[in-house]
């Protein structure tokens, strides 16, 4: 199981057991005694200028815009 999934499950279980302890259903929240695994931070990938241009061009082709105008819009104002 991925560390992020384990971290999420630990958070949910710790909260559920905390509620059970507050209500007197259990004596101790054993999940509070355990540390979840460390989740490594992922480096954010940035888009290049060329990639941004291709995405904007694809958007224009898909929406039918010409020179930044939407179809059906009055370019004269």
Contact 41, 6 (CB under 8 A): no
d(CA 66, CA 74): 12
Looking at per-residue pLDDT, the higher value among 19 and 77 belongs to: 19
List the chain domain ranges.
1-39
Give 12-66 pLDDT, tens digit per residue.
Answer: 999 999 999 999 999 999 999 998 888 888 888 899 999 988 888 787 667 666 6
Measured between alpha carbons, how far is 13 from 30 in angstroms, rounded to an integer?
10
- From the number of C-beta atoms within 10 Å of its C-beta (0-12, 13-18, 19+), residue 45 rates as exposed
Q: Does residue 24 come out as left (phi exceeding 0), alpha (psi in the -120 to 50 range) or beta?
A: left
């Amino acid at each position: 199981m991925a560390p992020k999934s384990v971290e999420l499950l630990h958070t949910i279980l710790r909260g559920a057991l905390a509620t059970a302890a507050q209500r007197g259903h259990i004596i101790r929240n054993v999940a509070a005694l355990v540390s979840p695994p460390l989740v490594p931070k992922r480096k954010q990938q940035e888009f290049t200028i060329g990639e941004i241009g291709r995405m904007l061009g694809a958007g224009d082709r898909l929406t039918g815009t010409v020179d930044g105008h939407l179809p059906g819009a009055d370019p004269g104002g």
